[in-house]
Structure 1
Amino acid sequence: MTENSDVPEGGGETPKGGFVSAIKCMISFFTIIRLDVGQKEFDAMERNFWAAPVIGFLNGLVAAVVCLLLVEVDASPFLQGVAALVTVFVFSKFLHFDGLTDFGDGMIVSSGRREDHVRALKDSLIGAGGFGVALTVVLISVACYTDIATYWGSVMAAVFAVEVLAKNAQVAAAAFGEPGSGMASRQVGMTGKGSLAKSSVLSVILLAVICLIHHGICGLMGYALKDDVMILCMVLGLLMSVAVGWYMARTANRVFGFVNGDILGAANEISRAVMLIMAVIVLGLCI
């Protein structure tokens, strides 16, 4: 019997779900969509966290559709940028954004003692550090989306791809992080370098699908095709998603002693901003 196969009824072992069960749980846990999930699905999610880019694909798809509709009504680049970010925030229940504010509070502690950093990280109140870090990330993201919409006419492809890669950054943070004692401890503990390799391969496949979708839409609507620039941004984005995830884990291991759900959420938000900055630089050089 394989690791992911279900145990027949009457067995003494808890059934273990596979890839489909993991995706089902991730959809219910990381998005506003509610599904009927139980321990089997949670166990599958913890063991198959490498599948997280699929959720990024779903999140990005919703945001891309919203942005495409805005293009059709001649919305301004700024409005497209705001809509792209707000859509992914709402669809993900502000879950990762909450992790970003907690991470900001935990990092901005003057004492330098680990226990104080951990206390601030886990405090439910938002302090100046959390507000400041979150505001900085949001402003950077909106500004970059606005620039991309100005260059390209739409942020559809950008938001689609970035959400996939932001989830890859989460997997990287889990792969290089030390598990703590919180809700995501098993998720971090069961995600290793092999999981990161799987996640990166999955991300490449999903990015290829995004390229095909974007190419088809541009062909149907008569938009200018800039596939070479988009592919370059995606390749660099994949590398940066791993780098940001690694750096977030390294920082969290040093400051807090572990990587928890808040750190994974912060990795999602910060990696998005970093990749968008990179995309704006590439567009500025190539277009």
Structure 2
Amino acid sequence: MSFTKTTEQSSHYESLEQMSVHDLLANINNEDKTVPLAVEKALPQIETLVTQIVAKMKLGGRLFYIGAGTSGRLGIVDASECPPTFGVPFDLVNGIIAGGDKAIRKAVEFAEDDKDQAWKDLVAENISQNDVVIGIAASGTTPYVIGGLEKCHENNIITGCITCNEGSPLALTAQFPVVVVVGPEFVTGSSRMKAGTAQKLVLNMISTATMIQLGRVKGNKMVDMQLSNVKLVDRGVRMIMGEIPVSYEEASLLLEKHGSVRKAVEAYNR
């Protein structure tokens, strides 16, 4: 199957090594400005995917991201930030990277080329039909990711993807694809740049919109956030003060006693 792999097309810029620092930064920034507009075009696809995720999570399902390299790392970042931000169990949103956890810091050679390993990794996490699996690959050709989604289909598991090449094998494999075409990178083929930014934006949208739909945000506040440092405790205290008529000291005591903004406010109102 042939398709245009725009992420590998030659940069619109030449002789990068001859540019000044100012010009390098300005040109990179100019390219980055195009990314949100590309994401905007994919909003209907993102909406459809989020709707599927929310429905499955309401049935007790989980969300899995699978990817290799930068894509895998971005999935892990998004998954790891859900528990502290929204107070959900650590295994509700999961990031899996080709090559295992050691690949988070250091590339594991040829890990992304194993078409069977993603399914093995998912089985190790007790994947079920209530779960949703999103494959992340800028190129849309990563065997690890494509193979994982294919096995999901054989086992009646809903799949989505985030890719930056329209008509790619991954986009055609996923049931609910999200395709954000950002075009050639400033440094030819360096998909950690615009493509990586696009993937990060989409992941932010997916997890945040899902958690809001599941009731993990009240108004515009993270009322279930984990109180894991002084900054977050202070934020929680001030959030309580904004909801009920108490002093800083009283809010602090309520937060300490009940463990979350939501529970503190509910206890006071009772």
Q: TM-score, normalised by structure 2?
A: 0.29
Higher strand share: 2
Higher helix share: 1
Larger gyration radius, structure 1 or structure 2: 2
